[in-house]
Every structure is written in C-alpha cells, then in structure tokens.
Structure 1
Amino acid sequence: MGTNISYGGPNSGLQIGENRGHITAQFVQPEASLNQACLRDLRTTSPHDDKDRIEQTNGGLLIDSYRWILDNEQFRQWQDNQSSRLLWIKGDPGKGKTMLLCGIIDELTRVIGATDVRLNNATAVLRGLIYSLVQKQPSLLSHVRSQYDQAGKTLFEDVNAWNALSKVFNNIMNDQTLQNTYLVIDALDECTTDLPLLLDLVVQESSTHSHVKWIVSSRNWPGIQERLDTATETAPISLELNETSVSNAVRQFIRYKVYQLAEVKKYKDEIRDAVYRHLSLHSQGTFLWVALVCQDLNRTSRRHVLKKLKEFPPGLDALYGRMIDQVRTSEDAEACKRILAVMSIAYRPITLAELTALVEIPDGLSDDDEALLEIIAICGSFLTCREDVIVFVHQSAKEFLLEKARIEVFPEGHEAEHLAMFSRSLQTMLKTLRHNILDIKLVGISTEEFTQPRSNPLAAVKYACFYDRNIFTGLKASAFWDAYQKE
C-alpha cells in the first residue's frame, strides 16, 4: 500500500513516497525560486547596465546631440502612425547612432517601457529581448518556464537555442496581456553570428503585431537593407541624408566638450577658441572623432595644446593610424601590441585580472594594476577601462586593428595569436586550479547561500575556463599540436 507524506516547516516541499518496498524522495523547489533560476540562466547582460556603461564611456548623454531626431518627420510618423512599426536608423561608423538610440530610449521611457539590446550574435540578442520583456512584465515568464522546466539552462545554449527561443518570443508577442512596447536593437551590423535569422525575425514580428514598435540601427549595409525593406512598414532615417541636422548636433557636442576641457585644463580664451575651430573644421560630422581627440587633449598639458592640435588628422582611419604610430614609438610598445591583439580576438571584454592570464606581461607588472592601466592608456584611442573591464571605444577601432593594422598587431597572423592565447590559458589554469579552490565546507550548498571570498582565486582564469574550447576550435588541430608540443 502506498503512502504520501508532506512535511511543513523548514523542510516544506519534501515529498516521500513508499510503494512496494521502494522509497523515493522528491525535493520540490518553491515557484519563486524556479522563476529566479530561470531568469538567472536566461540573462546575458542587463540592457539597462549596458546603456549606462555606453553613455559613461562616451562622456555622458548630451540632449543637444539627439534632440533633432524628435522633430524628424520620419521619426514622428513612425511614432504616431499605428501601421508604421519598424524604424531603421542607418549611418556610417562614428556618426552617433548608439548615442542617438540612448536619447530616444530616454524619451520613450518617459512615456512607455523600452527595451534596448546590443549583443553580437542573434541568439544572445533574442535572449536579451526576452529577458527584458519578462523583467518588465513578470507574467510573461510562463512562456519561458514552459520550455525551461524541461530543458533547464541548455534551452538557451544548445544548438537548437535559436529555434526554441524564437517560439518562446512568438508566444510572448501573441500574449493578450502584453502591454504596448518599444523594442530597440542597436548596431545590427555588429551581430556576427546568424544576422539573417535576426533580421527575418524583426521583419516578421514587426509586420504582425501592432502593439509592438521596433527601432533598429546599423551601418549602410546592402544585405541589411534588402531584408528590412521586406517589412510591411519600414521608416528609414539615413544620417547621411540628414547631414545638416547631424552636423548641427556635432557642433553642439564640440561646444560642450571644449567647454569641459577649458574648465578642467584652465584654457585661455584664445586656446579654447583654437580648439573649437580645429574640431569644427576637421570633425567631418563624426561624434567619435571629436570624442577621441578631446580624450587625447585631456591628457595634454595646456602649453602644448596648439602644437598637439596639428597632429590630429581628419577622419577616423587617419586618427587610428596616428594612434598606432604612437603605440609603436612608446616604451611599452610590445606590451601594448600584445594587449591590442588579444582584445581584438577575444570573445568578450576582459577584466584586468584576466588580462594577465591571457597576455604575456613584462615581469613586475602582472600584479600592478596602476601600471597596467598606464599601458592601456597608451592605447587610448582603441581601448578604455571601466570598473576593471577593458573594452573597445568603438567597433570601428577593433575593425581597424583586424583589417588595416593586422601586420602591425598580428605579425604572425590571427591563428598564431589564438594559439598563444590558448597556450597561456592552459598554463594559467594548470597553475591556478585545484580541488575545492573556494574552500566550500558544506557539500551541496546553493549559490545563493555561498558568499564569494573578497579575493576570488578564480578571477584570473574565468575567461580561460569558459572559452578555451572556443579558442581551440578556431585553430587547425594539427598546427596546434605541432606547435604546442614544441613548447
């Protein structure tokens, strides 16, 4: 005879069944705990934190740099017309697309919730959209849970993740309780994996659901235009065709940045005016160029400013070329080039702690964060460091290194750099990892109950442990073994 017993109190949720001599135990997690686990596994990064980081990296969001678009006829038509659901903002690198979207998000958030996503593969973008939607409207999590309860975290990561998540997303879009929503995807051109799948999803969903409006941005790529043009109602805004508005916004940005420099560096009026004239004449309507030059001037003594101004050529590529020359002639040239090479092929931004595990740093510097930051500052037109995380100042900086400076940064080729990165990762893991490295006393303790030590022994090897398989698959196996066995 079978019996079922439920226990309350501290063991609530434990069920024991006895049947024909066999005893089974089932631990039933509370619903709230399962929801938290699902959200935690779904999350890639927080779009809101990403937006804050981007604004901070670019020196803050200036309302005069984006307010023009709020009066743009195509923007207003997209916003006011129920049948116009897809807004596409397109323009060349450095024209301010990302900051423009940040400003639009701020304006829309005052009226209705907006979700912004900026990730580099289609599945991660879709995860980000779903995560933000269920964060804003928790009842929608049921569509994720229906799949997650069976598959667990693999739902978001295995080879079928895109197909599974597409169905979840479609179910959310069809949910009758879904509130009016704006979905924002920045930099479609930076989606390096399965971009056609993402574009097709945007076209299909924007053409189907009237209560959801989309904003996307990208460069002027014909492949993106071909697909987005198939949407029922697409409102394209070309920054090149709105050159007057963009140029006026850039002038406002220049005025703001020069005012900041003059205040901090105590410029005399003639120096301030000279800086303003030079930036206005050579910016070519490019926000990024202005930001990078002002960043360099901020490190320049005011008595050398007028001489330094002449060294800034117009155009992003010319400015990046000047920066490579500066790296080449610096006393830390080799360390700089190693860092730039690793950052260019890394699968994500890396921390200062991880840097020493991936890059061969000169003796005495691996434990000196201040010295490492000084080296990164030499690469200032390419890299920046925020809260101990190293990132590119812009996608165009990474592309310049991979394409136009590859001989300088990768003298032996990309594959050789992958090999060196893999080899160093292995060495660091072999030296660092050991059984129960965190000294956890209780077996089976949950992550919520565990307090991470102040000095995390895994901080330096986190990237290596997670991505070594990816690095290895990027190499030819025979070439890897031949080279590795010689070490």
Structure 2
Amino acid sequence: MDEIRKLERCVQDIRHTDPREDKKRIEETKGGLLADSYRWVLDNATFQQWQQDQHGRLLWVKGDPGKGKTMLLCGIIDELHSLLPRTALLAYFFCQATDLRINSATAVLRGLLYMLVKQQPSLVLHVRKKYDHAGKTMFEDANAWVALTEIFVDVLQDPQLSTTYLVIDALDECVTDLPKLLRFVAKQSSVSSRVKWLVSSRNWPDVEEQLERAGHRVRLSLELNAKSVAAAVDIFIQQKVDQLAQEKQYKAEVRSSVLQYLTSNANGTFLWVALVCQDLTATPKWNVLKKLALFPPGLDSLYRRMMQQISESDGAEICQQVLAATAILYRPVTILELTALVESLEDFVEDLESMRGIIGLCGSFLTLREDTVYFVHQSAKEFIFTNASHEVFPHGIEAAHQAIFSRSLAILSRTLHRDMYYLEALGTPIDNVQPPEPDPLGASRYPCAYWIDHLYYSKPMSQANGFSDLQIAGVVEEFIREKYLYWLEGLSLCKCVEKGVVSIARLWSLVQMWDRDGLTQLVQDARRFVMYHKGAIESYPLQIYASALLFSPTNSLIRRLFQHEEPEGITIVPSMSSSWSACLQTLEGHSNIVRSVSFSHDSTRLVSASHDSTVKMWDTKSGASLQSLEGHSDYVNSVAFSHDSTRLASASNDGTVRVWDASTKACLQTLDGHSDSVNSVAFSHDSTRLVSASHDKTIKIWDASSRTSVSNRTYLRTYVGAESPIREARGCSYVRS
C-alpha cells in the first residue's frame, strides 16, 4: 500500500495541467468541435503518408493565424482515439502563449509525460528514478527541463512502450524555451519508429529551420490546402449562423444575409468568423444588417474595426488603459491584480462585476477564464503592438511600463509586512505553507515578481513623462530601506525567490547609472544579502528575520536597517565580520570533489567538473543549476567552454574527452584516443580545435569543428612527452615535446 501511495503521489506531482481538460476547455471556448470541419484532413495524401508509412515519424501542420490549426488537431486526436488499437498510446498538449501554465517547454513535456504514465503506468518507474530523491521540485526548479528530457528519453526507449502518438499544438505559442523544445522534438522524432509526432505552428522560419533537421518528416501546409480549409470554414459558418438565428430569432432573409456575408468575407479564417459572430451576439436583431456591413474581411482589418469601436465607445479611455496594461504584463493576471495595477480601475476593487463588464468592452481582444484575463488570440496581442501602438500607448510603451512600476511599488508598500501568512514559527517550511483566505498577497503576487522589470523597461534615464531618474531613485531607495525584507518574504511565499535574485541584479545594473552613491551601495548590499541567504529564504520564509539577519555582516546596510526585526531572546549571537566576504555565491549540487571550473566567454554561465562523474552548468546571475551533463564513467577532471560559448569540453579519468552542446546538453563528440586518464582540456580561440593532456604523457590536438552526434576518434596531432622517434601513422603525427 505504501508503494501504491508513492506511485499515486508521483503521478499527481507530474500533473501541472491535464491536457484532456485543456482540450475540452478549448473546444468549448471555440464553440464546439464540428466533425465536418476537420474530416477533410483524413483523406489528405500528406496526412495519410504520415499515418500509414512507418518512416513518416513527424508531421508538421503549419498555417497563418486563425486558420483552425488547433481545432484541426482536436479533430485528429478524436479520430486517432477511435482508430488506434487499445494498446496504442496517445498523448497531446496545447500551448497557449497567454496562459502561463501551458506556454513553456517544460510544461509541454510534463503534460505529455502525465498522459503517457496515466495510460501505461509502468512508465512511471522512469520518473521514480529521479523523483524518489528530489520530489515534486524536480518538475519546477531550474533543472526541470534537464530532468524531464532525461526521463522522456528513457520513456521513449522503454522496450515495453506501445505504439505511441505525441501531438503538440501551437509550437509558436511556447513562450519559454521554444528552441529547446524544437531541438528535442527534431531529435527524438528520428529515434524510434514506434513513436509518431504531430505538431502545429504558424509559418515561422525559426520553427521550420529546427524541424527541417528532423529525419522522416512531412509538412502539411494549410495555405496549400486552401480549398479544403475554405470548405471547412463554410461548415463552421453554417453552424454559427444557425446558432445565431436560433438565439436571436432572425428572420429568413436576415439569416441568409448573414450567411452570405460571412461566406464571402471569411477568406478561410475561422478566427475571423468567430470574432464577427461574437460581436453579432451582442447586436440587436433589428441592427444586424447595418452592423454586418461594418465588418471588413481579414483579421488585421477586423482588429482595426474592433479598435475603432472601442475608441468610439463611452469607455474608450479605460479600455485603452486596460489593453495597454494587459499587453505589457509578463503573464496573465487575475481581475484583482489588474484592478490594482491600473489606476483608473481603483474604484472597482470591491466591484468585480463591473470589472468583468469592462473586460467585456474589450471583448474583441480580451477574454476572461476563471477571473483571469487573457488575450483572445496571440494575433490580437501582436496587432496592438504592430498596428495600434499609437492608440493604446499614446505616451509610448515606456510610459506604460512606468505606470505599472509606480502602481506596483505603491501596492507593495501598502501590503507588505512581516509574517503576511501568520505562520509565527520561524522554521515553517515553504512546502507546509497554505495561503489564508482571502490571500493577503492576492493583489501583490504580480508586483512582487515584476516591479523591477517594469522599472527597467520604463527607461528612467530618458527622463520622459515628467519623471527624472533622481525622482525614481528616491522612490526605489525608500522602498528598499523600508520594505526590502518584507519583499523577500513575499517572494518566498510566492515561490519566486530565484526571480528576485535576477531582478535585484538587474536593479543594481540600473542604479549604477544614477548619480546616487548611497543607493548604489544599498542595492549592492541588498543583492549580496539575497544571494548569500537565497537557500534559507526560499525554503523557510521567516528565516529572513532569523538566520539571514544574524548571519549577515555587522555593517551590512540591510542588517542595520532591519535590526528591529531580529528575533528576541537570543543571548548568544554568532560572531560575524564587519563586511561581506569576497564570496558572492556558494553553488551546491555536486556529490563529490569539484576539480575544475570555467566561465562561458559571455560570462552568463559557469561550468564545473566533479569526481561524481558529472559536469554541471550554472546561471551566474541567480546561482541556479541549469544542467547536469552525464556520460563519463569516472571522475571528471577538467572542463572548458568554447570561445563562442556554444560548446563545452570535459576530460575524464575514463580516458575520454567529451564535447557537449551548451544549450541542449547533447554529447556531440566522444574523443577516446588517450590510453590513460585525461587531466586537462582547452579550446583554441577560433573554437575549431581542442587540446587535451593525459597521464599517458601525451598531448593531443583534436578537430572540434564537427557538431554531429557521433563518436569521433580522429585527432590531428599527438605530442609525446617521453623520448620517442618521429612517426607518421594513420594521419597522426608523433613528435618529441
């Protein structure tokens, strides 16, 4: 029973979202799935080639915005469900750029993995290998992508894996780490004939470039199948018009006019039809024909018309401010968060129903799901920046960032204080913390994570909008002096301390440009404080007021400012130095001796080699572990970055040198010409050659230009330390040192 509970807990922790529920929600949001609007693809030669040919392992469905790619994949999924044998596996995932839960590469793999283990429970054993040691955090921390890719590869190579179909919709809406996801799909789709991949995206060159590297691939372009798509749109129009006619009680001639207009102007675009019908739903039937003529063909033209309607409405100003804020926010926000962030919405803090009405006025661009505000489609957000920027941002995008920054700091200054969740016990672990109801941080979660980002992109040095850098510097200094520790507590409770570390580094780079020495020193001290105590703060929120203060230097500005928060009753305090040591960060993660370290040449990453047989890569800003490279069978003695920072090399006691891709962690080359342990390795300045030194008394120079995933044993030259005659053999020169 204990083992069963562990398995169930593991599966529950994999689940970040259930793609089956996302599929149902998407279909309901778009008005339901019409079989006749997608069945054309089942007879398409390209689709049949992918489905029936064992060599057709990757199908890429591509098309412009609004062409119905998502609903097409929903239909294909339903057909596969009915056609595949019961032993086959089918997993899918729907990316949406406007939904933080489902817009990252890790979310994609997590969703697919959840569906696979639900269908074939034995696959969870591959997850348990890592999960039993790390728990749920392995799916959420900085190493999540590394852990998930390793697990996923093991799953796909499982000899008991049934025939498997993997479907990913809207790759272009994977906001975080899309290049990693594309490389992973391209590589893995070429590995096993038992696994077929189906993906969709817009016609993006970057997507095409990566997927072109996949073997056994086929493409299905919706633009090249325009007749089939247009016929499907006509069916969709028929269904939407019938629904409108029934709900609004149209007369026959009105119904006919609506049907004809939509059919003539849809131009094979589902989204255009859906937006027009949404507007007609709120239009009285006596005004339908007059209103109908105002909808121009084409998505951009329709968005322009919708924007004009907003501009002419009584709520024009407030709608534009809502659109401006929503467009520049870094994630979808709740109504409560939006109300706090937009000054003109202050009067609606206790009137969420009116807020829903305001979002409704922006209905052509925004939608509400469970009281969270989203764009109706990524193309709507893009239209605002490319075609309506002067209307939505009358004072410029920087001014909009300035407004969000100012509101964020006002919210935080008003709401942050010690022990916001009433934990009381200083040792309460974050995993045991449950937000009270109502959540004191309900309106502060977004400002906590992103106030510095909005300050940075408001470009304060420009002195635009009447704010000088000195005025802003004064506001920032006051906040740090009065609220810094409470902000760190908020970050811990929101589980985004790592984001805070990166943000405070960004703030430090900004304040150095201001002529304000006191603020520069304060932010530098604040940065050292959070970097030094990051581990304790993110695991135990209230340790900010205990160990973090007590174990900071006596002259730390933050310690002195918040001395009144130190725990009472402690008679013996640790003896601390007066100032911060030279140590900026302590990076922990290796399980044995660390033998070598190297910075990337852009200084953003650090790589380390250890006797635990692994190489680890670290983010130098946050101190987060980014990747763990496994493959050596003995101690790793040396590691080096190439000068272009795209590759790294490691030398091991197993007698080999390995060359790795610094982005994907894939091993590109294994160089095994030494007869004893390899102690040192370095790249040439042009990154085309690699040199290694070994216990076998030789130095070898290797060709490092190859980027293919093959074992490469060709070396250019060997220098022998002992007395030896000059020999030429197999393209290798042996020379006295």
Q: What band does the TM-score fall into relative to the shorter chain?
A: 0.7 to 0.9
Q: Deviation string for 1:284-343 (max 9, x for gaps)?
A: 111000000000000000010110011100000001011111122222222211211222
Q: Secondary structure at the match of 1:364?
A: helix
Q: Provide the secondary structure at the position in 2 that maps to 1:361.
A: helix
Tell me if 1:399 matches 2:382: yes
The answer to whether residue 467 in structure 2 is matched with residue 484 in structure 1 is no
**Cα deviations by residue, 1:381-434 (Å, 9 ceiling, x for unpaired):** 111112212211111101101221122222333343233223323322332344
The residue aligned with 2:76 is 104
SS at match of 2:60: strand
TM-score of the two chains, using structure 2 as the length reference: 0.57
Q: Which residue of 1 aligns with 2:184?
A: 201
Structure exhibiting the larger radius of gyration computed from Cα positions:
2
Aligned residue among 290, 293, 296 for 1:310: 293
Decide whether aligned partners of structure 1 residues 203 and 34 sit closer, same or farther in structure 2, where only a CA change above 3 A counts: same
What whole-Å deviation, never above 9, does each CA across 1:345-383 have from its counterpart, x for those lacking one? 223322222221222234432221221122111111111
1:89 is displaced (CA, Å) by 0.6
Q: Using CA pairs under 8 Å that are at least 6 residues apart, name the structure with larger relative contact order, 1 or 2.
A: 1
Q: Name the structure 1 match of 2:130.
A: 147
1:242 aligned onto 2:225: yes
Q: How does 1:261-300 map to 2 (within 5 A)?
A: 261-300=244-283
Deviates more, 1:477-486 or 1:265-274: 477-486
Residues 425-446 of structure 1 deviation map (CA, whole Å, 9 limit, x = unaligned): 3322332344454556899889
- Measured in 1, the distance between the counterparts of 2:452 and 2:81 equals 40
> Residue type matched to 1:267 in 2?
Y
Q: Does 1:115 find its partner at 2:92?
A: yes
Determine the C-alpha separation between the residues in 2 that align with 1:445 and 1:46: 31
- Code of the aligned partner of 1:66: Y
Q: Which runs of 5+ in 2 are unaligned?
A: 96-101, 463-467, 476-737
1:122 offset after TM fit, Å?
2.7
Which of 380, 383, 390 is matched with 2:366 structurally?
383
Tell me, yes or no, if structure 1 residue 47 matches structure 2 residue 19: yes
Q: What is the alpha-carbon distance in structure 1 between the residues aligned to residue 378 and residue 113 of structure 2?
A: 25
- Partners in 2 of 1:249 and 1:134 — Cα distance? 35
CA contact (8 A) 2:15 2:114 kept: yes
Give me the whole-angstrom Cα distance separating, in 2, the residues matched to 1:473 and 1:130: 37
Alignment of 1:356-371 (within 5 A): 356-371=339-354
Report the CA distance between 1:55 and its aligned residue: 1.5
More strand by share: 2
Q: Which moved more, 1:194-203 or 1:289-298?
A: 194-203
2:30 to 24, 38, 58: 58
What do residues 58-111 of structure 1 show as CA deviations (whole Å, max 9, x unaligned)? Answer: 112122211111222221221222221111111111000011111112222333
Amino acid at match of 2:124: L
1:20-39 C-alpha deviation (Å, 9 max, x unpaired): xxxxxxxxxx6566656655
> 2:348 touches 2:355 (CA, 8 Å); kept in 1?
yes
Please tell me whether the aligned partners of residues 108 and 114 of structure 1 are also in contact (alpha carbons under 8 angstroms): no
Counterpart position of 1:411: 394
Q: Quick one: distance in 1 between partners of 2:31 and 2:150?
A: 39
Q: How many residues align?
A: 459
**Contact residue 339 and residue 345 of structure 2 kept, 8 A:** no
Larger deviation: 246-255 or 224-233?
224-233
Contact residue 339 and residue 346 of structure 2 kept, 8 A: no
C-alpha distance 423-169 of structure 1, shift in aligned 2 (>3 A): farther
Residue aligning to 2:163: 180
Q: Percent identity?
A: 53
Asked if structure 2 preserves the Cα contact closer than 8 Å seen for 1:117 and 1:129, the reply is no
Q: Aligned-residue CA RMSD in angstroms? A: 3.0
**Structure 1 SS opposite 2:17:** coil
CA distance in 1, matches of 2:313, 2:19: 37
Give the Å deviation of 1:457: 3.8
| Structure 1 residue runs without a partner (length 5+) | 1-11, 13-29
2:198 pairs with 1:210: no
Secondary structure in 1 aligned to 2:22?
helix
Query: Take 1:361 and 1:34, find their aligned partners in 2: how far apart are those partners?
Result: 50
Query: Which amino acid is the alignment partner of residue 427 of structure 1?
Result: A
User: How far did residue 476 of structure 1 move?
Assistant: 5.6
Aligned letter for 1:47?
A: P
The TM-score with structure 1 as length reference comes to 0.85
Contact 2:37 2:235 in 1 (8 A): yes
Is the Cα contact below 8 Å between 1:115 and 1:133 reproduced in 2?
A: no
Over 3 Å counting, the alpha-carbon distance change for 1:49 and 1:368 in structure 2 is: same
